[in-house]
């Protein structure tokens, strides 16, 4: 989910909250629809400059006091030029790229080695605020939770939900390895549920997992909506996934995550609340594909090479699953 949050000129409301406008993609808007105090403006990157001009016409004519430019890709930087704001807060020099500095007039502090969400949280500091805690208030409708409750019995069987695909293909693990971990979970008395979107890749990956499994699993791939997904992940005891959107949604819903990391660093972009049950092969990937340890890489370096996820073995994931079982 990509976004820019911008605070408009009108004064704070009676409850002390400054009204926010949020430039967001269609999928993010569907997920967050109903979030209080936010006006969403949807931008489709396929619409190009015409879409940017249309966005400008949606925005308040008076402009904004502050733009929080939380994306550094060139398209997002150009899009920000269509948002009139007196203060334009962006990333520090280390995180900047694609001419980011040309579109901002203030920067957040340079703090290397922190999680992506902590960097985003520091955008409030130029406004005289400080992030002291992180809370997620995803708007999940009652009917979404009702749908999720209907998918499997509310019994004492713990549930492992597998969301096998990321939007970055080189971060994806292998169907036979997912199947092996799923069979291990079933042997330990767990229920296994597969979830995902409607893409051909997600369908074919799921079919391959089911074909390789010895035990049965509940296939919900392509059957939920973006509003139902958080409710579904909330019901899980543990979610196994590569570095992906569902990883962060599960974390936001309070569910522990067995993250599969080699292409990306879980300390930077893994589940924010708890990485104890993640597989971390990022250093091994750095040594194999870049010829140096992870400690010598620029913070945030991605190692998205063909075959990088081969470094995550079945034994690694089973060990992470067993760590979850052995928690206090």
**pLDDT, tens digit, for every residue of 18-42?**
779 999 999 999 999 999 999 999 9
Task: Please give the tally of structural domains in the chain.
Answer: 2
What the block records as the tokens of 56 is: 């400008």
Below-50 pLDDT ranges, the chain: 1-15
Helix and strand counts by DSSP (H, E) for the chain: 12, 12
Domain assignment present for residue 289? The answer is: yes
User: What is the DSSP-derived secondary structure letter of residue 230?
Assistant: H
Domain assignment present for residue 45? The answer is: yes
Q: Are 166 and 103 members of one domain?
A: no
Q: What pLDDT, on the 0 to 100 scale, is given for residue 18?
A: 76
Which residues does 110 contact at the CB level (< 8 Å), separation at least 6?
A: 92, 93, 94, 95
Give the global pTM: 0.92
The CB-side HSE value for 173 (13 A sphere, CA atoms) comes to 31
Q: What pLDDT, on the 0 to 100 scale, is given for residue 16?
A: 56
Q: By residue range, what is the domain housing residue 17?
A: 3-127
Domain assignment present for residue 136? The answer is: no
Domain assignment present for residue 283? The answer is: yes
Each residue's pLDDT tens digit, 225-249: 999 999 999 999 999 999 999 999 9
Which residues does 216 contact at the CB level (< 8 Å), separation at least 6?
A: 186
Q: What pLDDT, on the 0 to 100 scale, is given for residue 8?
A: 43
Q: Are 96 and 147 members of one domain?
A: no
Q: Are 285 and 166 members of one domain?
A: yes
User: Last residue of some domain: 93, 127, 161?
Assistant: 127
Q: Are 190 and 300 members of one domain?
A: yes
Q: Are 172 and 91 members of one domain?
A: no
Which residues does 286 contact at the CB level (< 8 Å), separation at least 6?
A: 292, 293, 294, 296, 297, 301, 303
Q: Are 104 and 206 members of one domain?
A: no
Q: What pLDDT, on the 0 to 100 scale, is given for residue 170?
A: 96
Q: What pLDDT, on the 0 to 100 scale, is given for residue 206?
A: 98
Q: Are 71 and 200 members of one domain?
A: no
Q: What pLDDT, on the 0 to 100 scale, is given for residue 9?
A: 41
Q: Are 279 and 151 members of one domain?
A: yes
Domain assignment present for residue 132? The answer is: no
What the block records as the tokens of 8 is: 């408009």
Q: Are 226 and 168 members of one domain?
A: yes
Q: Are 297 and 254 members of one domain?
A: yes
What is the CATH number for 234?
3.40.50.2000
Q: Are 57 and 173 members of one domain?
A: no
């Amino acid at each position: 989910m990509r976004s820019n949050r911008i605070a408009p000129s009108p004064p704070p409301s009676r409850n002390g909250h400054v009204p926010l406008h949020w430039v967001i993609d269609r999928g993010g808007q569907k997920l967050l629809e109903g979030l209080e105090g936010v006006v969403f403006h949807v931008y489709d990157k396929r619409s190009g400059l015409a879409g940017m001009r249309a966005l400008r016409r949606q925005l308040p004519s008076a402009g904004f006091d502050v733009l929080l430019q939380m994306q550094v890709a060139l398209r997002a930087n150009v899009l920000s030029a269509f948002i009139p704001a007196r203060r334009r807060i962006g990333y520090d020099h280390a995180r900047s790229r694609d001419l980011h500095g040309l579109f901002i007039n203030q920067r957040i502090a340079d703090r290397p080695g922190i999680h992506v969400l902590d960097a985003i949280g520091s955008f409030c500091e130029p406004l005289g605020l400080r992030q002291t805690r992180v809370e997620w208030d995803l708007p999940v409708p009652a009917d979404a939770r009702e749908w999720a409750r209907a998918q499997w019995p509310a019994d004492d069987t713990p549930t492992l939900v597998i969301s096998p695909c990321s939007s970055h293909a080189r971060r994806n693990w292998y169907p036979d390895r997912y199947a092996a971990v799923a069979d291990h979970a079933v042997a330990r008395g767990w229920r296994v549920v597969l979830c995902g979107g409607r893409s051909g890749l997600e369908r074919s990956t799921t079919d391959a997992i089911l074909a390789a499994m010895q035990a049965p699993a509940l296939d919900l791939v392509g059957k939920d909506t973006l509003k139902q997904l958080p409710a579904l992940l909330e019901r899980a005891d543990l979610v196994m996934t590569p570095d992906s959107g569902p990883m962060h949604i599960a974390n936001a819903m309070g569910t522990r995550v067995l993250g599969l990391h080699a292409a990306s660093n879980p300390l930077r972009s893994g589940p924010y609340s708890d990485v104890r049950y993640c597989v971390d092969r990022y250093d091994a990937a750095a040594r194999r594909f870049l010829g140096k340890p992870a400690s010598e890489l620029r913070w945030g370096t991605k190692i998205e090479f063909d075959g990088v996820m081969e470094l995550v073995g079945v034994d690694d994931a089973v060990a992470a699953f067993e760590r979850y079982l052995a928690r206090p």
